[in-house]
Amino acid sequence: MAAENNFKNMVLCLFLVCLFCGAILGSVYAVTKKPIEEALVAEARAAIAEVLPAGGEISEPIKSGEMEYYVSRIAETISAYAVKSSAAGFSGPLILMVGVLPDGTIYNTKVLSHSETPGLGAKCDSDAHFIAQWKEFPANGNITLKKDGGDIDAITASTITSRAYSLAVQNARNLVKSLQHK
């Protein structure tokens, strides 16, 4: 039922199949390229919008060492920073988006991704009390766990995840502080 098994047929067949598939892929890629970029930007913007006060104009991502941050401007003056910060969690990196005001106040935080244990560290994005304490955390507050002498309540039975979260927020605040000195 199939074509003959000679060399010419095999090469021709493979060539035509690759050509045709290449054409399909190329056209689908061209059609979806822009929506994909827009989707990525929209995702980042959505996360940033959650951690910053409303109304600012958000910049493109700026790289600083291993971290990445966005600047929010209202009428040409910088009103806040959104820093993508990460720290080693219990089972992998914990990646946060941290909204920091120029004076060092933490406006809000949002978990972008984590690999923590369900029911324990995974509560870092669902435990209401833990999340709430990061809202408008004062600039002079101590971002370490209460059991380490600071002001943060850890998630029950998830000290390591809580420490990682605090470290990530601390790194974000330190970055903003260093930017103020420039």
Partner 1 sequence: MANSNLSIITKGLLKENPTFVLLLGMCPTLATTTSALNGLQMGLATMFVLILSNIAISLIAPVVPDKVHIPVYIVVIATFVTVLQLFMQAYTPAVYRTLGLFIPLIVVNCIILGRAEAFAGRNNWWKSALDGLGMGLGFTMSLTTIGIIREILGNGSIFGWKFITGDGILAFVMAPGAFLVLGYLMVLFNKIAKK
Partner 2 sequence: MEYFLIIISAIFVNNIVLAQFLGICPFLGVSSKISTAAGMSIAVCFVITLATVVTYLLNQYLLVPFGLDFLQTIAFILVIAALVQIVEIVLKKVSPSLYKALGIYLPLITTNCAVLGVAITVVSKEFTFGTSAPHMLNLAESTVYALATSLGYGLAMILFSGIREHLALNDVPKPFRGLPIALITVGIMAMAFLGFSGMV
The residues of the shown chain that bind partner 1, judged by CB under 8 A, are: 1-6, 9-10, 13-14, 17-18, 21, 24-25, 28-29, 32, 35-36, 39-40, 43, 118-119
If one counts every other C-beta atom within 10 angstroms of the C-beta of residue 18, the result is: 10
Write out the two tokens for 49: 């919008």
Is 69 near partner 2 (CB under 8 A)?
A: no
The answer to whether 120 and 128 have CB atoms below 8 angstroms apart is no
Q: Which stretch binds partner 2 (CB under 8 A): 70-78, 84-92, 101-109, 132-140?
A: 84-92
> Which tokens belong to 139?
């600039």
Output the smallest distance, CB 154 to partner 1, in A: 18
Which residue of 69, 70, 86, 96 would you call a contact of partner 2, by CB under 8 A?
86
Residue 77 CA to residue 71 CA, distance in Å, equals 10
Shortest distance (Å) from residue 151 CB to partner 1: 27
Structural tokens at position 181: 């000195």
Contacts of 9 (CB under 8 A, 6+ apart): 3
Summarize as ranges the residues that interact with partner 2 (CB under 8 A): 21, 25, 29, 66, 86-88, 90-93, 95, 113, 115, 117, 160
